[in-house]
A = this chain, B = another copy of it.
Amino acid sequence: MIRVTIWNEFRHEKTDEAVQKMYPEGIHEQLATVVGQNYSVKTATLDESEHGLTEKVLKETDVLLWWGHIAHDEVDDAIVNRVHERVLEGMGLIILHSGHFSKIFKKLMGTTCDLKWREDGQSARLWNVNPSHPIVAGVGEFIDLKQEEMYGEHFDIPAPDELIFISAYPGSEVFRSGCVFRRGNGKIFYFQPGHETYDSYYNEKVQRVINNAVEFCAPTENSRPYYGHYKGEDRK
């Protein structure tokens, strides 16, 4: 069974009434409900020791979900490096919403990961542009969200290895809102929905995508390739 760890900054929920109301136990607990039916789930948050991401926890994690926003800078560089190494080793990583600006995502992308944004209470439509991909299995042509924060292009990322969703917003912005990246032995999925005051993680299609992505990002059985001085191997 795939072992999922859900990491949440868990700050908005403690101070902002609208967020408390939307996610009374924290965004991580709602996400745990979303993926807990199919996978073995743990949670971890910023204010725990080592942010809850000890060597042991990461070693026992197949796929890590990441939600952060106002405290990206408080994430310790040593922990970021530890997560980075685990991704290259094969751990899947699902970066949600404002996690686009996390240290770990920026480190993996090599770019600023910046974008345009606007919190206006308006809707979003995420178009499926990759119909054969397992991440969109069962999702159909698009996902409608009554309210989602606008994230607009240019999104300063490398061209994704696989582009899955493109979002449309009423202000005529567009956004590459579902993107797959492969780095080392690891698979990464960026998924845009999840503003803290909106109900995106209660949406069934969003939930389906996150479950599909867990399955997709899970490591294969290959270990890391050999690197370094190589005397060669005789052909068999």
Contact = CB atoms under 8 A, between A and B. Distances in A.
Residue in A146, A171, A231 with the greatest tally of chain B CB atoms within 10 Å: A171
Interface stretch (A11-19, A48-56, A220-228): A220-228
A184 B88 CA distance: 23
A127 B228 CA distance: 16
Contacts of A174: 127, 166-168, 174
A156 B227 contact: yes
A75 B27 CA distance: 42
Interface stretch (A1-9, A38-46, A66-74, A116-124): A116-124
Given A152-B230, A163-B163, A227-B156, A220 B129 contact: no
A230 B132 contact: no
A186 to B, nearest CB: 6
Interface stretch (A57-65, A103-111, A194-202): A103-111
B156 A184 contact: yes
Interface residues of A, number: 74
Contact of A235 (B123, B154, B156): B123
Given A118-B230, A137-B221, A176-B129, A182 B158 contact: yes
A185 interface: yes
Given A111-B88, A161-B158, A171 B132 contact: no
B153 A127 contact: yes
B183 A158 contact: yes
A68 to B, nearest CB: 18
Nearest to A126: B174
A187 interface: yes
Contacts of A168: 168-169, 172-174
A183 B158 CA distance: 6
A232 B110 contact: no
A154 B182 contact: no
Interface of A: 88, 90, 107-112, 114-118, 123, 125, 127-134, 136-141, 144, 146, 150, 152-156, 158-159, 161-163, 166-174, 176, 181-187, 219-222, 224-232, 235-236
The 5 closest A-B pairs by CB, nearest first: A116-B230, A154-B225, A114-B227, A137-B220, A171-B232
